[in-house]
Chain A
């Protein structure tokens, strides 16, 4: 049996799947129900400053029959009384001592306010805190949430205020609404955070109604930016996670990361963990399908680990991080070309038109006479000598494993851009670049 247990800077949970601080973790009823069904932990819906909510609160992107590929919201932090939240938090922790219960906090930018709410929350027995420096709507306009996360000095300062008054782990939740997420991450390290979590939601307007001209979500005829989440944001979250996880300053401090952003399946969770996440947080998928998805999350990850021979999650956390690289360190001599398997090809010719209109015109439609049909249609065939290996054709191909990218040896030097410009800085001029290309057998038509 594989072991999914997680030790996240001292916070223990039976598996890495936590409810993200969001509507699914709004109450003791919900959190305890989730734990009963197998969730490893929950970051309680943020408590703190007094708020009033509006409706409607959600906007979605549906794509070709799939609902909620992206979800945006303008809901604020918990609008339930703090006392009730704290009472229910204590009860959840008492009933599920082995599960992770983390309090998410957000108050105005005053030392007393932060320290007071932390002290009040200590009594719940919660396992730690997540500081919400990420909420991009409603709270940010009042100087909270992402307004703090976007200024590294504030991030550091508030983190320090909190770490002064608690011995419990403090997780700083980062906003993606910044130019470079590494800076607020380093600020959290500086403020003695115990861990990081990312990403919060992304600023977004979901759409405009073509009949009414109203925005989505539509709050009584008006709309504005809200926080974007769901499967569509996953690549952005993966990038930010990898940027933070591979930052020298962050890794030197040894801070674990709880990652989120569009995780719906165990496969998504594994990807985040391969890029350095110790635990993963999930919200949109639960909002779409309910807590019951935990069954497949746990089982799917376990099966995958067994198949790969991993005994514990530590065996694969961060395993792909060494592959995170910058463009300047890529091998310029690596050459792949597209090969089309005509046994699998269904002749939709999407590869042909994509290559012809949007790539490098190296797929021809040819009469191959490989069937017995009287009027055989033309087949797409790659002119390998002209294929630049861009991979667009295999991406548009609707058939699995029909077009594969095959590595070929071209005799080009296996050198990176950084190495090249270090040894031959003259290639930064076009004429020298042309000379180099000639020597290196690089022909671009």
Chain B
């Protein structure tokens, strides 16, 4: 049954917690996928393909679904993007491929993301392997961090014949795909299956190893022919208001990670929750809290609706999930009793002149202090920059841009010839996203190949560069 035929399905009290945390979109049935694929016009020089940071040949893979060559469709996707199954679920398609679909304006864009999921799931469920390790080049590459950028780089390098070792400080590999994407967008299994597919190419993934602590960075640089840094960003920064250490104040990323790694029934949550911030992570925290069972979830944001950084569709989703919003509200203190949060003291804001980001900056309204009662505060006001890495790398001569690692955008090479970097830790401007990280990994793999082997040998079946 097509999605639009379904009556409103989500009534929390009628669903078990497992149902509430299963993938939000049901997978396409074979008939749904074919019908949707048949709708695709098969544009020439299609804009969706240009809009995709990894330049997946979208019309081609959709045509293959239409003819029943679903295996071929998956190959087309994965050739351009080894993390196609994750991207199918987490990509902001509304602002990328689907947003540029020629049918978008007066009709309905093709559901590219869901078709991509259909094809990649098809291959994954059947254990189909499309790639194998390239002929050994006798070169070793270390990758620090196993998120999308690291895995993408590792996979592409393995295809080119490099001996690749990925170091991951967490228990499981996959980075934000494993720990940071809400489970009803991407189940952990999908991310771990992608890790497995990269390992199947001969890549060694070492979890529980922290570079800078268990192994020194200098050691890595001397032991390997090249190093790719894809460490992402850090924790949610402090709000720098009194009361932050009260019981019931949690880091939004940790909160999401719990739902990915722990039994859902065991997760503690409040009944009246305030989420601070209005980005996509904040939305994730709020919607998770609702689905866990929180009665009232309020998002608190110091600017207005127009400035909120979350994607519009995420905002819509939160509204639909029964999350309420307090815009132009700035927390100034977290209040509590006996060490436990009981409320959050805020001031009203007004919009003043545009600031450096071009957005009108919020100005406090005098005498507008008020307390919002709550028993849990989730902070999701961003992530701290990779300071410790930037600091350690500075000793090796690496520069940074606003606290992010500086790279050459054509090769993702840093100022040190052996060190490359990609993913959120280099994203000094523009939006950080999984698909951009995957592309960084591809660009870096090509850069590493060219730097270690030479550009002339890079043949067609490789990393970066769009296929036409």
**Interface residues of A, Cβ cutoff 8 Å to B:** 64-65, 346-350, 352-353, 365, 377-378, 398
| 0 or 1 for each of B7-35: is its CB under 8 Å from A? (1 = yes) | 00000000000000000000000000011
Chain A's closest residue to B35 (CB) is: A65
Residues of chain A with a CB closer than 8 A to B41's CB: 348, 350, 398
Contact A65 B38 (CB under 8 A): yes
Counting chain B CB atoms within 10 Å of each CB, the highest count among A348, A350, A353, A378 belongs to A348
Contact B47 A347 (CB under 8 A): yes
Chain A's closest residue to B68 (CB) is: A210
Give the residue of A65, A353, A377 whose beta carbon is less than 8 angstroms from that of B34: A65
Residues of chain B with a CB closer than 8 A to A353's CB: 44
CA distance A378 to B43 in the complex (A): 13
Chain B's closest residue to A357 (CB) is: B44
Contact A349 B34 (CB under 8 A): no
Contact B44 A348 (CB under 8 A): yes
Residues of chain B with a CB closer than 8 A to A346's CB: 102-103, 105
Main secondary structure of the interface of B (DSSP, over half): loop
Contact B43 A349 (CB under 8 A): yes
Counting chain A CB atoms within 10 Å of each CB, the highest count among B34, B43, B44, B47 belongs to B44
Residues of chain B with a CB closer than 8 A to A64's CB: 35, 38, 66
Chain A's closest residue to B105 (CB) is: A346
CA distance A64 to B68 in the complex (A): 12
Tell me the B35-59 residues at the A interface (CB within 8 Å). 35, 38, 41-47, 50
Contact B47 A352 (CB under 8 A): no
Residues of chain B with a CB closer than 8 A to A377's CB: 47, 50
Nearest CB of B to A344, in Å: 9
Q: Known: A65-B35, A65-B38. Contact between A349 and B103, CB under 8 A?
A: no
Contact B102 A347 (CB under 8 A): yes
Contact B45 A349 (CB under 8 A): yes
Residues of chain A with a CB closer than 8 A to B105's CB: 346
Nearest CB of A to B211, in Å: 39
Q: Known: A65-B34, A65-B35. Contact between A350 and B44, CB under 8 A?
A: yes
CA distance A64 to B105 in the complex (A): 22
Residues of chain A with a CB closer than 8 A to B34's CB: 65
Given A348-B43, A350-B41, 13 other A-B residues pairs in contact with their CB atoms under 8 A: A64-B35, A64-B38, A65-B34, A347-B43, A347-B102, A348-B41, A348-B44, A348-B102, A350-B42, A350-B43, A353-B44, A365-B45, A398-B41
Nearest CB of A to B104, in Å: 9
**Interface residues of B, Cβ cutoff 8 Å to A:** 34-35, 38, 41-47, 50, 66, 102-103, 105
Chain B's closest residue to A353 (CB) is: B44
CA distance A352 to B38 in the complex (A): 21
CA distance A378 to B103 in the complex (A): 17
CA distance A398 to B50 in the complex (A): 21
CA distance A347 to B104 in the complex (A): 12
CA distance A65 to B2 in the complex (A): 13
Counting chain B CB atoms within 10 Å of each CB, the highest count among A65, A365, A378 belongs to A65
CA distance A348 to B44 in the complex (A): 6
Residues of chain A with a CB closer than 8 A to B103's CB: 346
Nearest CB of B to A347, in Å: 6
Nearest CB of A to B107, in Å: 9
Residues of chain A with a CB closer than 8 A to B44's CB: 348-350, 352-353
15 pairs of residues in contact across A and B, judged by CB atoms under 8 Å: A64-B38, A65-B35, A346-B105, A347-B47, A347-B102, A348-B41, A348-B43, A348-B102, A349-B45, A350-B41, A350-B44, A365-B45, A377-B47, A378-B45, A398-B41
Top 4 nearest A-B pairs (CB, nearest first) are A353-B44, A349-B44, A64-B38, A346-B102
Nearest CB of A to B33, in Å: 11
Chain B's closest residue to A380 (CB) is: B44
Residues of chain A with a CB closer than 8 A to B46's CB: 348
Residues of chain B with a CB closer than 8 A to A65's CB: 34-35, 38
Chain B's closest residue to A348 (CB) is: B43
Residues of chain B with a CB closer than 8 A to A398's CB: 41
Residues of chain B with a CB closer than 8 A to A349's CB: 43-45
Residues of chain B with a CB closer than 8 A to A365's CB: 45
Nearest CB of A to B126, in Å: 16
Chain B's closest residue to A345 (CB) is: B102
Counting chain A CB atoms within 10 Å of each CB, the highest count among B35, B38, B102, B103 belongs to B102
Nearest CB of B to A272, in Å: 29
CA distance A198 to B44 in the complex (A): 42
Chain A's closest residue to B66 (CB) is: A64
Nearest CB of B to A394, in Å: 15
Residues of chain A with a CB closer than 8 A to B42's CB: 350
Nearest CB of B to A341, in Å: 14
CA distance A398 to B103 in the complex (A): 10
Residues of chain A with a CB closer than 8 A to B38's CB: 64-65
CA distance A350 to B45 in the complex (A): 9
Nearest CB of A to B112, in Å: 15
Nearest CB of A to B36, in Å: 9
Nearest CB of B to A431, in Å: 40
CA distance A297 to B278 in the complex (A): 56
CA distance A93 to B35 in the complex (A): 45
Nearest CB of B to A367, in Å: 13
CA distance A365 to B41 in the complex (A): 18
Counting chain B CB atoms within 10 Å of each CB, the highest count among A352, A365, A398 belongs to A398
CA distance A398 to B105 in the complex (A): 14
Chain A's closest residue to B51 (CB) is: A375
CA distance A378 to B102 in the complex (A): 13
CA distance A349 to B48 in the complex (A): 13
Nearest CB of A to B4, in Å: 15
CA distance A377 to B100 in the complex (A): 11
